[in-house]
Amino acid sequence: MLGCVLEPFKGHLNARFTEAQSQVSGTCLCLAILEPGYHESKLFR
C-alpha cells in the first residue's frame, strides 16, 4: 500500500536521494515530500 501512496512522489524522492549521493536520512526524505503535498503519514497529522 505504501508504494501506491508514495508513487506520485517517487521521482522527487529519487532526485533528492541522488542529489545527496545516497547520504540522506529517512526524516529528510519525509520532509522533502511535504512541500509537493504528501500528508498521508500519521507523523504529519
DSSP, collapsed to helix, strand or coil, labels residue 24 as: coil
pLDDT in tens, 2-44: 557 788 888 888 888 888 887 888 888 888 888 767 766 655 5
DSSP state of 12: H
| pLDDT computed for residue 40 by the predictor | 66
